[in-house]
A = this chain, B = another copy of it.
Amino acid sequence: MAIRTKRRTAGRFSGESIIIEAAWLYHHDGLNQNEIAKQLQVSRATVVNYLQEAKERGYIRISLSPEIFNNHKLAQELRQKFNLQAAFVLPHGIGSDEEALMRVARGAAKWLPSLLKRGDRLGVAWGRTIYEVAEALEKIDIEGVTVSQLVGSMATPYGFTAEICSAHMAQNLGAKCINLHAPAVLSNPDLAAHLRNEPIIHAQLEALSHCNKAIFAAGSCEPDSHIVSCGLASIDDLEWYIKQGAKGVLCGRFIDEQGKPIIGNLDKRIIGVTLDRLQGLDIGLLVSQGVEKVTPMLAAIAGGYVTHIVTSDKTAQLMLDANN
């Protein structure tokens, strides 16, 4: 009785499994299934079976270029875990945190225009990151966009102010710019209250409270935090807020783990948007990067201020690893 191999062997060219031969001809030599069927003397349907088996056996690996797609994967995971509309994860790269920040800022700048459409009113916060986004923006022109400065101005040792952030952004977006002609923080609550009632300031605050989109960064509550080094808060202020459970800073306001604003002495002296105005926007774009920003970012997300996010892969991974 003739005993033969069940499955046909290729024989013709390679002696190896006909499955490997089919996979080779298809993926390496680029033949189509008909040509392969003819060459291997089987039906085309059989070639389909062989190719599927080659896939199942793992002979063929379709890998998505990791450095490109890993970040995309992280973005999807961020999107899912935090219920965001969209996320953009950039490679941290091998360089310093400084370089990563620049890359994230450039990424946000590249993305921002496609998130805006005519008639939008964009609120712009202030900080190093936002400044770099504004600088990195290529000059484009979307009709009828208005940019609003979300917090008052501040003299900084860095040479950039809230005014410059929003002005540059408006300039590069070809947008109208509404600045907030007031200091970010005053020494005295009463003065702040009076200033808020000044007609010009009142109008500006009114305008920014009608923004439908906003771009901001998360600030950390660590002692070397920006909010202290720029002079907005004193070390004592910071310690007080931390004692109250502050986990981050958003537009000059301290927030707790759930993203709820912590109202304290400082808040009464600040001229700027209140956080309730930043909830439920069409787009709340959080641009931040770095280990120390993870907790603040999570808090901001928990508070419902964020619909879109731009960050680095490293930061994204830390956010995903955080067990909450």
A-side residues, CB < 8 A to B, are 1-5, 9, 11-16, 20-21, 23-24, 27-28, 58-65, 68-69, 71-73, 75-76, 79, 85-88, 107, 110-111, 113-115, 138-143, 308, 310
Q: Which residues of B contact A111 (CB under 8 A)?
A: 9, 11, 15
What does DSSP make chain A's interface, helix, strand, loop or mixed?
mixed
The answer to whether A23 and B75 touch across the interface, beta carbons within 8 angstroms, is: no
| Cβ-defined partner of A59 (8 Å) among B2, B28, B64 | B64
The complex places the Cα of A76 from the Cα of B140 at a distance, in Å, of 55
Nearest to A12 among chain B residues (CB) is B86
Determine how close the nearest CB of chain B comes to the CB of A38; give it in whole angstroms.
Answer: 17
Q: Which residues of B contact A16 (CB under 8 A)?
A: 71-72, 75, 88
The complex places the Cα of A63 from the Cα of B28 at a distance, in Å, of 9
- Evaluate whether A72 and B14 lie within 8 angstroms (CB atoms) in the complex, with A62-B27, A62-B61, A65-B59 already known: yes
The answer to whether A310 and B65 touch across the interface, beta carbons within 8 angstroms, is: no
The answer to whether A11 and B141 touch across the interface, beta carbons within 8 angstroms, is: no
The answer to whether A69 and B59 touch across the interface, beta carbons within 8 angstroms, is: yes
The answer to whether A20 and B69 touch across the interface, beta carbons within 8 angstroms, is: yes
The answer to whether A86 and B24 touch across the interface, beta carbons within 8 angstroms, is: no
The answer to whether A20 and B60 touch across the interface, beta carbons within 8 angstroms, is: no
The answer to whether B15 and A86 touch across the interface, beta carbons within 8 angstroms, is: yes
Q: A1-B141, A14-B87, A62-B63 are in contact. List 15 more A-B contacts (CB 8 A).
A: A2-B143, A12-B85, A13-B76, A13-B86, A15-B110, A15-B308, A20-B68, A24-B69, A24-B72, A58-B65, A59-B68, A60-B62, A61-B62, A61-B63, A63-B63
Q: Which residues of B contact A1 (CB under 8 A)?
A: 141
The answer to whether B61 and A11 touch across the interface, beta carbons within 8 angstroms, is: no
Q: Which residues of B contact A23 (CB under 8 A)?
A: 64, 69
Determine how close the nearest CB of chain B comes to the CB of A289; give it in whole angstroms.
Answer: 14
21 contacts between A and B (CB under 8 A): A2-B140, A2-B141, A2-B143, A3-B139, A3-B141, A4-B140, A9-B114, A11-B111, A11-B115, A13-B76, A13-B86, A13-B87, A14-B86, A15-B86, A15-B308, A15-B310, A28-B73, A58-B65, A60-B64, A60-B65, A61-B61
The answer to whether B72 and A2 touch across the interface, beta carbons within 8 angstroms, is: no
The answer to whether A88 and B15 touch across the interface, beta carbons within 8 angstroms, is: yes
The answer to whether B143 and A4 touch across the interface, beta carbons within 8 angstroms, is: no
Nearest to A8 among chain B residues (CB) is B114
The complex places the Cα of A71 from the Cα of B62 at a distance, in Å, of 20
